[in-house]
């Protein structure tokens, strides 16, 4: 992988302080150290502390094996098959402890395996801190805070890249991407999160290798999609993914609607929902992944439904119901959206069909539904994209929710009978009338 050069940054040369490190992480570091093991805070935690940010996680690396770690901590459980990790449980906080990784070319130390494409399949190979540093993905993640003397061991000029605002892979980029194609996603995620640039040598192979993401397990890509799009920089991350052709392997149906001008309904909706999600995350509000997926897939869903209407002569409502199965079945092949989320996605979509039908007592009953608020919020976004009748419908519901009992009754009475023309808006008219003539 190439020779690395260790630079030791002494305590008086960096700004990392123990008071900024989780008390539970310090407990783990000290217990490992007192038991005679090397113990380092590593990766994103060190990187974020150097940037003056509050780390989301405090990960630890050590020369203790998983079994030796478990012997030291009663509150420890071992996880993972690709690489064994120790999770030390402190209530809701989990401190992840990993044994130094060695080179996968030396399987005698333990067990490693690669696919024909060069992807690592198993990775239980233990080694030294130097080898562990070489195995890390980016230079800015290869810095180790030593609890023994409070120095930082920088193995790949990570501090320099951090100061220069550069995302740089350790080793040969193509080899590293083939070992784990998710590193391409991590590159754009870190660039967006840290407001940094991907250096040219790290960026150059991505367009040619983006297809490798198609071989990543869909369950792993679900977790990665949340990190990419729901961490507070989703819109910027999405735009970078578009630049490097990384969005298509995750959302192939959505990518079919992309245009050179970036002005399709799908693209407009993606920007709206990610901008809204970023705002909620950064305000500390709760988010539901199902809402984002429902928004991303809504216009691809309608595209599939229109085709069914043309081919089968069925009504819009029936086409949407049938198309929802097709779209979700295809999407979960690349991103394994859990069933609890797909159920919510379906409810949000079905509400788009029910919200126009609001005369009599229907409006009151709809507001009592568990997912009404999500359905209404999505209707408002559709109104921004589609304008016209959809925007007017969203305004009606906004007024209705804030109105008193008498005004609500009057609004419902004024509607008269539901207008079936809305259910088959001009963009979704079927050819049923032609076939019956």
- Kindly state the tokens that stand for 368: 């009592």
**CA 72/CA 180 separation, integer angstroms:** 32
Q: Select which of 48, 59, 161, 278 is catalytic.
A: 59
- Kindly state the tokens that stand for 81: 């098959």
Q: Select which of 137, 161, 180, 278 is catalytic.
A: 137
3-state secondary structure of 86: strand
In whole angstroms, what separates CA 300 from the centre of its chain? 20
Helices (H), 35-128: 44-51, 66-72
- Contact in structure between 160 and 22 (CB atoms under 8 Å): no
CA distances (Å), origin 356, targets 9, 117, 295, 353, 368: 64, 51, 18, 7, 16
Q: Select which of 20, 38, 57, 245 is catalytic.
A: 57
The upper half-sphere exposure of residue 380, i.e. CA atoms within 13 Å in the direction of its Cβ, equals 14
Write phi, then psi, for 112 (nearest 5 degrees).
Answer: -145, 155
**CA 112/CA 83 separation, integer angstroms:** 9
In whole angstroms, what separates CA 269 from the centre of its chain? 17
Cβ-Cβ contacts under 8 Å for 330 (sequence gap 6 or more): 252, 253
- Give the CA radius of gyration of the chain: 26
Cβ-Cβ contacts under 8 Å for 429 (sequence gap 6 or more): none
Cβ-Cβ contacts under 8 Å for 58 (sequence gap 6 or more): 21, 22, 24, 25, 41, 45, 95
57 annotated active-site: yes
243 annotated active-site: no
Q: Is 336 left (phi over 0), alpha (psi -120 to 50) or beta?
A: beta
Place of tokens 């999609």: 225
3-state secondary structure of 118: coil
- Kindly state the tokens that stand for 367: 């507001």
**CA 374/CA 342 separation, integer angstroms:** 14
In whole angstroms, what separates CA 57 from the centre of its chain? 16
- Contact in structure between 74 and 89 (CB atoms under 8 Å): no
Catalytic site residues?
Answer: 57, 59, 137
């Amino acid at each position: 992988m190439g020779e690395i050069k260790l630079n030791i940054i002494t305590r008086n040369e960096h700004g990392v302080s123990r008071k900024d490190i989780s008390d539970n992480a310090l407990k783990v570091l000290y217990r490992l150290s007192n038991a005679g093991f090397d113990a380092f805070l590593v990766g994103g935690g060190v990187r974020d502390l150097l940037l003056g940010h509050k780390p989301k996680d405090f990960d630890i690396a050590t020369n203790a094996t998983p079994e030796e770690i478990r012997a030291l901590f009663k509150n420890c459980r071992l996880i993972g098959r690709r690489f064994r990790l120790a999770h030390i449980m402190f209530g809701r906080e989990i401190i992840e402890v990993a044994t130094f990784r060695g080179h996968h070319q030396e399987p005698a130390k333990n067990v490693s395996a690669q696919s024909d494409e060069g992807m690592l399949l198993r990775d239980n190979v233990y080694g030294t801190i130097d080898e562990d540093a070489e195995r890390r993905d980016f230079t800015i993640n290869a810095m180790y805070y030593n609890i023994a003397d409070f120095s930082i061991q920088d193995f790949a000029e990570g501090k320099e890249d951090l100061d220069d605002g550069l995302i740089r892979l350790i080793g040969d980029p193509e080899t590293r991407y083939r070992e784990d194609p998710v590193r391409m996603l991590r590159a754009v995620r870190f660039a967006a999160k840290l407001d940094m640039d991907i250096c040219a040598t790290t960026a150059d192979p991505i367009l040619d290798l983006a297809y490798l993401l198609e071989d990543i397990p869909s369950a792993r890509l679900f977790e990665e999609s949340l990190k990419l799009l729901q961490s507070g920089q989703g819109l910027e991350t999405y735009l970078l993914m578009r630049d490097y052709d990384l969005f298509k392997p995750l959302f192939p149906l959505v990518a079919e609607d992309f245009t050179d001008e970036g002005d399709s309904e799908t693209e407009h909706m993606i920007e709206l929902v990610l901008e809204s999600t970023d705002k909620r995350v950064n305000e500390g509000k709760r988010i539901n992944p199902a809402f984002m997926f429902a928004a991303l897939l809504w216009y691809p869903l309608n595209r599939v439904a229109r085709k069914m209407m043309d081919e089968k002569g069925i009504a819009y409502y029936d086409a949407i119901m049938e198309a929802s199965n097709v779209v979700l079945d295809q999407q979960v092949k690349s991103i394994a959206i859990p069933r609890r989320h797909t159920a919510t996605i379906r409810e949000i979509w079905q509400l788009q069909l029910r919200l126009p039908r609001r005369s009599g007592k229907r409006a009151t009953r709809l507001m009592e539904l568990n997912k009404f608020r999500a359905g209404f919020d999505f209707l408002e976004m559709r109104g921004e994209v589609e304008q016209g009748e959809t925007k007017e419908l969203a305004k009606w519901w906004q007024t209705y929710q804030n109105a008193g009992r008498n005004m609500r009754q009057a609004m419902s009475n004024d509607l008269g009978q539901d207008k079936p023309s809305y259910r088959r808006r001009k963009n979704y008219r079927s050819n049923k009338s032609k076939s019956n003539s």
